[in-house]
Amino acid sequence: MMKLSEEKFNNTNSAPVTRSSDRYLRYIARKTLFLISCIILLFVMMIISVSVGTLSIPMEEIVRSLVGLESNYSNIVWHIRMPRVLAGIVAGASLAVAGAVMQSILKNPLASPYTLGLSQSAAFGAAFAIIFLGAGSAISGTTGTVIVNNPYIVTIMAFVWALVGMTFIMILSAMTRVSPEAMILAGVAIAAIFQAGTTALQFFADSIQLSSIVYWTFGDIGRVTWSQCGVLIAIMIPTLAYFIYNRWNYNAMDAGEETARGLGVDTGRMRIIGMILSSLLSAVVVSFMGIIGFIGLVAPHITRRVIGGDHRFLIPGSALIGAILLMGSDTLARTIISPMVVPVGVITAFLGGPLFIYLLVKGYKK
């Protein structure tokens, strides 16, 4: 341990009441308490979310269904509400964590799956599948609503094109030595290109195909099945584990490129792997559920504002806040003009936009 002559450097203005490390440990305890509170809130909201909807389910019946006892509501709980709630939790957590990591490694508060063009490239893939692979040209005879009649092709194409978008970003940024600025600018360029591509495809689409494309781009959690939930979880858990494992590297990168390298971090490698995994995470969510904006942008900002930028707490905190926001938005989407269901992407944008402006103004005032 380094020695220093205390009398020479001690701040004589005011002696510390307690040692800094004690204060820090109390500070850490408060952050831990925040995470625990979020877990409790998530659980409460999960129960509420399963309960409300076109048909209200009493709490007692939810518990009976969940523990396997006989209930009239078992089918609704297990086959309609639970996959939706679970998908909301997993997708919200995935988008938020992807946003938190992107914002850190790119050193840009605007970085998110949406602003980096991944959502736009996935939307292009979906539009391509609907128009050229015949995946979305049917109208329900009874309700007149548009049905994507081959969701698997749409999902696969959305995913493939999201990866194509990500690959473009990585190649462009590698050509410029993987700088954060290059990655952001490449993302903006990719977003513009794929947005233009989707518009061009829409120009050639007939009215039903056009409706299908618009329908797909509305983010909707209700499309997700149990097996798709399984895929989302299978990708989220190892990715989240990787991000949590590297939390100290992200902390170092927050302090600046050179400081991080001086602390032994291979910043280029961290940035490439972080971008690939966060893009993969968001690509899976977008391809299953369509475009859900603002969760990836807002959830990390809310978490940062409450518990600061330490990635040991920021990553799990963002995941929890993202899950709460998306599940809460979906619950609102199902109840606000029940029995109609508003696309959750509309709710997240309506809630997220003003919330983001509020955080921005509050931040600047400070």
Partner 1 sequence: MMLKVDDIEFKYRSTPILDEVSFSVEAAEVVSILGPNGVGKTTLLKCINGILKAKKGTVMVGKESLTDMSRLEIAKRVGYVAQKSDTSMATVFESVLLGRKPYVRWDVTREDVRVAGEMIDRLGLSDLSMKYIGEISGGEFQMVQIARALVQDPKILLLDEPTSNLDLSNQVRIMSLIKDTVEQNNISAILTMHDLNLAIRHSNRFILLKEGRIYAAGGVEVLTPDVIGEVYGIPVCVETIRGQPVVVPA
Residues that bind partner 1 (CB under 8 A): 1-6, 8-14, 16, 19-25, 27, 107, 248, 251-252, 254-256, 258-259, 261-266, 304, 308-310, 312
CB 189: neighbour CB atoms within 10 A? 14
Distance CA 12, CA 176 (A): 49
Closer residue to partner 1 in complex, CB, 102/235? 102
**Phi and psi dihedrals of 338, rounded to 5?**
-55, 140
CB of 358 to partner 1, least distance (A): 18
CB of 61 to partner 1, least distance (A): 43
CB of 365 to partner 1, least distance (A): 13
94 in Cβ contact with 315 (< 8 Å): no
**Three-class DSSP category at 139:** strand
CB of 110 to partner 1, least distance (A): 15
Bridge partners of 353, per DSSP, are none
Helix axes 20-51, 295-307, angle to 10 degrees: 140
**Three-class DSSP category at 178:** coil
Closer residue to partner 1 in complex, CB, 64/247? 247
CB of 228 to partner 1, least distance (A): 33
**Phi and psi dihedrals of 41, rounded to 5?**
-60, -40
Question: Of 90, 50, 49, which Cα lies nearest the Cα of 74?
Answer: 50
Closer residue to partner 1 in complex, CB, 11/207? 11
Q: In Å, what is the CA distance from 34 to each residue of 162, 247, 261, 310?
A: 34, 18, 31, 13
Distance CA 128, CA 158 (A): 9
Closer residue to partner 1 in complex, CB, 238/363? 363
Closer residue to partner 1 in complex, CB, 201/260? 260
CB of 99 to partner 1, least distance (A): 15
Closer residue to partner 1 in complex, CB, 79/269? 269
